[in-house]
A and B are shown apart, each in its own frame.
Chain A
Amino acid sequence: DVKVTQSSRYLVKRTGEKVFLECVQDMDHENMFWYRQDPGLGLRLIYFSYDVKMKEKGDIPEGYSVSREKKERFSLILESASTNQTSMYLCASSLRRGRPVEQPQHFGDGTRLSIL
């Protein structure tokens, strides 16, 4: 069965800290995504990667960076955490090949991040 694992379910950090959110998938998916979920705003794409070492900015990349050194792992980095980055972060993955409707995105359980 498909499995996307996010390293932490809850995380509390302080303003100015460098924060790493990790995501691992076991399905050999090429595409991996980081979303941010806020009430009333839905999910918004931060970054995505379609291959190892490849990345593209999403809709709200400011204040974030990503790393994809291995196919199964996609890390989201908050370079200097700020209170407005308090949110739920969701990782997802999908196959790049094939018909998109047959290869939907699979999501992790989310990390609820609080920046104090």
Chain B
Amino acid sequence: AQTVTQSQPEMSVQEAETVTLSCTYDTSESDYYLFWYKQPPSRQMILVIRQEAYKQQNATENRFSVNFQKAAKSFSLKISDSQLGDAAMYFCAYRSYLTGTASKLTFGTGTRLQVML
């Protein structure tokens, strides 16, 4: 079974600064997908960024980028130019390449990000 570990329960960053949230995972599969979701106080889970394991290039979405290290099974999220609206709970998630039951997402325990003025 796959597991996802987020070792930082809480992080803080100054507005306009850069912060990196870490995520490691354990799997025996070679093909899979990785996601970062954001959950603000409004509770709506929002997809931030996604990565296909077979792609070596790191995904980027505006101020959000990932550092995907397949051999190390690491998938960290970098937020540049942090804004007050980035304050939220961030979840790292793993999805198998397979379909059926395996299409579920396996989530980490989350990192709460505070953005300071």
Chain B residue nearest to A40 (CB atoms) is B109
The answer to whether B25 has its CB under 8 Å from any CB of chain A is no
Interface pair A48/B109, CB less than 8 Å apart:
no
Interface pair A56/B33, CB less than 8 Å apart:
no
Name the interface residues of B73-111: CB closer than 8 Å to any CB of A.
91, 95, 97, 99-101, 103-110
Interface pair A42/B108, CB less than 8 Å apart:
yes
Q: Per-position contact with B for A13-49: 1 when CB-CB < 8 Å, else 0? A: 0000000000000000001010100001111110010
Across the interface, B109 reaches (CB within 8 A) one of A42, A58, A92, namely A42
Indicate the size class of the contact surface on chain A.
20 to 34
The verdict on A107 contacting B44 (CB below 8 Å), with A48-B104, A100-B33 known, is: yes
Interface pair A110/B33, CB less than 8 Å apart:
no
Across the interface, A56 reaches (CB within 8 A) one of B6, B42, B95, B101, namely B101
> What B residues does A96 contact at CB under 8 A?
99, 103
Question: How many residues of B are in contact with the other chain, CB < 8 A?
Answer: 28
- In whole angstroms, how far apart are the Cα atoms of A100 and B107 in the complex? 16
Interface class of chain A by DSSP = strand
Across the interface, A107 reaches (CB within 8 A) one of B45, B100, B108, namely B45
Name the interface residues of A40-79: CB closer than 8 Å to any CB of B.
40-45, 48, 50, 56, 58
Name the interface residues of B25-62: CB closer than 8 Å to any CB of A.
33, 35, 37, 42-45, 47, 50-52
> A74 to chain B: closest CB distance in Å?
14
- In whole angstroms, how far apart are the Cα atoms of A40 and B110 in the complex? 7
The 8 closest A-B pairs by CB, nearest first: A107-B45, A42-B107, A43-B107, A42-B109, A110-B43, A101-B33, A45-B104, A104-B47
